[in-house]
A and B are shown apart, each in its own frame.
Chain A
Amino acid sequence: MELQQDEREQARLAGRYLTFSLAKERYGLEILKVQEIIGVPNITCVPRCPAFIKGVINLRGRIVPIIDLRLKFGLVEVPYTPKSCVVVVNINAGDQVISLGVIVDTVLEVLDFKPAEIETAPNYGVQVKSNFIVGMGRKNGGDLNILIDIERAVSSAEVGALMQVTK
């Protein structure tokens, strides 16, 4: 019963992922959620925001909030390098779809994981807020990629805050 559920989940998760690196770890992001990838532009700081929200950018006329995934994930903040990128993702917030810039160390490649190449997320218990990790992807015995759901990674309250920023 559970196996079947895993298989379904694997089938559901199978697809193309944009992989990026963050603190030497590889992460995978569902490619359909990605709008585009840009270098780190000038970021306008917004006061009175959570620390992980670095500010906003003007992306071709649109205001896009930028979050630092390192900070979001509780990792050590490092200065941005030429290889640091902003992955602009679209997330659903209620009935709205908002764009969000996520600063990663660098983008790596686009990988197409088959169901067999995906392992569902392990259950860490209720204490850990790890529900944004949807699984682990491994391609032909290569590096392990942590597959994340960016919508889950950003809580609704935060999304609200983000929306407040965009307005």
Chain B
Amino acid sequence: MFSNMTLRAKLLTASILIGLIPAICITWNANRAVTTFHEIFPSQFENIARSLTDTIDRNLFERYGDVQAFGYNEVVHDRAHWYTPGASANPIVEAMNKYVVAYGLYDLTLLVDLEGRVIAVNDVNFKNEPINTAYLYEKNFAESGWFKDVMAGNYYTAGAGALTGTVMEDFYADEDDAKIYNNEGLVIGFSAPVTDSSGQTIAVWKNFAQFGLVESIVKDFYSNLATLGHKNVELTLLNRGGTVLLDYDPIRTGKTDIVRDMKVLGKVSLVESGFEAAKAAMIDESGVSRSHEPTSGEIQVVGYAQNRGALGFKGMPWVAMVRENEEAVFGFLTSIEYAEWIILGVSLLAIVIAGLWLARNITGPIDRVLKDLRLGSDELRSSASQVASSAQSLAQGATEQAAALEESAATLEEVSSTSKHNSDNSQAALGLSECVRKASEKGSVSMNQMTSAMSEIKTAADETAQIIKIIDEIAFQTNLLALNAAVEAARAGDAGKGFAVVAEEVRNLAQRSANAARETAEKIKRSKDLADNGVRVTAETSTSLGEIRDNAVKSTDLVKEIAAQSSEQATAMVQLSTAVTELDKVTQQNSAAAEESSAAAEELTAQANLLDQMVTRLAATIYGAKAEVPKTVRASVSKATTPEPKSEAATPKSSVKIVQPVPNAKREPLIELKPSQIIPLDDGDFQGF
């Protein structure tokens, strides 16, 4: 599966896996922490509720004891002051006023006798201000519940061994208290019997503790909670019937004081209104509930605890509830969760981007290197194969060259002997050309003599022609004479007939002589022409002979040079022979070297193929086994190599050239020995021959 992936994909996958697993682990852990927090955090509310109940119980434990302690005051035993209002008249009242002021939390403190009549009551409030309590002396509390309970010994107690001796009245609105203090009269009543020294019950003491006591406890508690970070909580106290005793929600009301909503307090039952947490609180001693608050409709996390008492005190019959809007409670957890998801998302994105970047940055150079490698390997392979073929052809060529060299050596032997023969022949030719030269010189002399003879003949002919011309003139004159004679004879008529015959004969003779002279002249002229011709031919012959002589001289010189050069040639042939032997040796070495290089080239080809396979495997690793990428790479490589065949084609040629110059270099001096360069002759020099 992974082998089919490209390196980039692998890197990407790896980086994502590497980055993702911790991110997921962290997220999971954080989630677990949040979940745990979800589970644990509400239990805090339970603890807070528990703490609130404990605080209340610890405080009210003291109030529980106060009433008994007040009863131990011996001033009570002085019956003389009983039923007398006013602190000045009644020391009990004085003591009571001191208690009230000192404690600062009692509205009223009341002492009644066993018939229910008021013995004494304080007449100042906790601020030491006078209050009107005198009318209470007129009242009889014998029918009051608390009086009956005290008289009956129905103390508020947890049972055997626990604190006892006090009757407690749960939160209620006392009409007297309301009347005296002109308020709701919310109080908690604590009543206890007062005994004399013999232990006989003589009276009943009742303390009216302000409900504000509890309210201030709750307020303090709230402010403590606020310092601990719970600023949005709503604190509620219920009695065991689910009725609201106190509700403190400064955020909702916007007031720091506890609002006493008398429509609610002591009247509205949260159990009846369907508040699930309240129902649970009535059953369980403590716990946490997630409940739908019926009035506001919001979901609240509710920690609740029943008062369980403290220090032997049974505890108030109440339930404390610590409530907070769920969203407010878990808001930070939700934000943490959001943050988690955002962090996870961002880190995922970052991981992917980093992975891509990494993959690109790693695969990019590798890709390029691979391309180069592929290019190089292809070139190497083709070059190697070319080198191999070149080396093979080189080896073959070297072998052929060696064979050719042996033939050349044999031929050289022949040429050497031929050159020796040439040298001998050129010596003989030298002698012959010398003879030719002498003969031509003799001929030249003879020709000169002949030329002068011809000239003489010509001169003689000219002279003869002159004579003949004179003869011709004479014949002409004679003819004229004969004609004149004939004219004369004709004039003479018949007498001149004989003379005319003579004249005719004379004329005939003259004619014959003229003819003879003409023929002779023609012959003379012909002989003269012949002589002229002879002279001309002789002159030409003489010139030719001269040229023959000159050329014979030149020829002699040439033959001499030829002889010398032949001799040199023979020497050179010996050197050449040595050189060829050397060359043969070198060629043998070349041949061996070519064989070796051929083998090396084969090895190189094999290595190149191996390299190519390795590159292919590398490409498979990078691009994946089935990936088409290497082909395109290969295509691009082949494209890239296309413009290069020139250099590739040039390489074998040059390698061939490297091999060949060795024989060429040694042959060159021999090739330069051209006859035309040795013999300073043009073709024109031979035209005379």
Contact = CB atoms under 8 A, between A and B. Distances in A.
Nearest to A15: B490
A109 B490 CA distance: 13
24 contacts: A16-B486, A16-B490, A18-B483, A18-B486, A18-B487, A31-B486, A31-B490, A32-B490, A32-B491, A35-B487, A36-B484, A37-B480, A37-B484, A37-B487, A82-B476, A85-B480, A107-B480, A107-B483, A109-B483, A109-B507, A110-B483, A110-B490, A110-B500, A110-B503
B184 interface: no
Nearest to A39: B480
Contacts of A31: 486-487, 490
A49 B504 CA distance: 38
A109 B486 CA distance: 9
Interface string B495-518: 000001001100100000000000
A83 interface: yes
A34 interface: yes
Contacts of B503: 110
Contacts of B477: 39
B476 A83 contact: yes
B407 interface: no
Nearest to B485: A110
B473 interface: yes
Contacts of B479: 107
Given A82-B473, A109-B507, A110-B503, 19 more contacts: A16-B490, A31-B486, A31-B487, A34-B487, A35-B487, A36-B484, A37-B483, A37-B487, A39-B477, A39-B480, A85-B480, A107-B479, A107-B480, A107-B483, A109-B483, A110-B483, A110-B486, A110-B500, A110-B504
A93 interface: no
The 6 closest A-B pairs by CB, nearest first: A110-B486, A31-B490, A34-B487, A37-B483, A16-B490, A36-B484
Interface string B441-482: 000000000000000000000000000000001001101100
Interface in A96-116: 107, 109-110
Interface string A71-97: 000000000001101000000000000
Nearest to B491: A32
A110 B491 CA distance: 13
Indicate the member of B479, B490, B491 with the most A CB atoms within 10 Å: B490
Contacts of B486: 16, 18, 31, 110
A26 to B, nearest CB: 15
A144 interface: no
Contacts of B476: 82-83
Main SS class of interface, B:
helix
- What class of interface size applies to chain B in its complex with A? 10 to 19
A35 to B, nearest CB: 7
A91 to B, nearest CB: 15
A109 B500 CA distance: 12
A73 to B, nearest CB: 21
Main SS class of interface, A:
strand
Given A107-B480, A109-B507, A110-B504, A36 B487 contact: yes
A59 to B, nearest CB: 13
A38 interface: yes
Contacts of A18: 483, 486-487
Interface string A6-40: 00000000001010000000000001101111110
A17 to B, nearest CB: 10
Interface string B30-49: 00000000000000000000
A34 B488 CA distance: 9
A35 B484 CA distance: 8
Nearest to B480: A37
B200 to A, nearest CB: 222
Interface in B154-201: none
A110 B500 CA distance: 10
Nearest to B479: A107
Interface in B131-171: none
A110 B487 contact: yes
B597 to A, nearest CB: 102
Contact of A38 (B473, B480, B500, B504): B480
Nearest to A19: B483
B502 to A, nearest CB: 13
Interface in B257-292: none
Nearest to B493: A32
A38 B481 CA distance: 9
Indicate the member of A16, A37, A82, A107 with the most B CB atoms within 10 Å: A37
A110 B497 CA distance: 13
A18 B504 CA distance: 12
A64 to B, nearest CB: 15
A37 B479 CA distance: 10
Indicate the member of B486, B487, B491, B504 with the most A CB atoms within 10 Å: B487
Nearest to A107: B483
Contacts of B500: 110
B319 to A, nearest CB: 185
B598 to A, nearest CB: 102
B491 to A, nearest CB: 7
A31 B500 CA distance: 12
Indicate the member of A34, A39, A85 with the most B CB atoms within 10 Å: A34
A98 to B, nearest CB: 17
A71 to B, nearest CB: 23
Contacts of A38: 480
A16 to B, nearest CB: 5
Interface in B113-135: none
B506 to A, nearest CB: 12
Contacts of B473: 82
Contacts of B504: 110
A53 to B, nearest CB: 23
Nearest to A36: B484
A85 B476 CA distance: 10
A82 B487 CA distance: 21
A37 B485 CA distance: 10
Nearest to A110: B486
A83 B480 CA distance: 10
A154 to B, nearest CB: 20
Contacts of A32: 490-491
B479 to A, nearest CB: 8
Contacts of B491: 32
A109 B506 CA distance: 12
A34 B476 CA distance: 18
Contacts of A83: 476
A107 B486 CA distance: 13
Interface string B325-349: 0000000000000000000000000
Contacts of A85: 480
A134 B483 CA distance: 22
A149 to B, nearest CB: 17
A90 to B, nearest CB: 10
Contacts of A110: 483, 486-487, 490, 500, 503-504, 507
A32 B488 CA distance: 9
A35 B504 CA distance: 17
B657 to A, nearest CB: 88
B501 to A, nearest CB: 11
A161 B656 CA distance: 113
Interface string B3-22: 00000000000000000000
A13 to B, nearest CB: 15
A82 B476 CA distance: 9
Nearest to A38: B480
Nearest to A34: B487
A99 to B, nearest CB: 13
A102 to B, nearest CB: 14
Contacts of A109: 483, 507
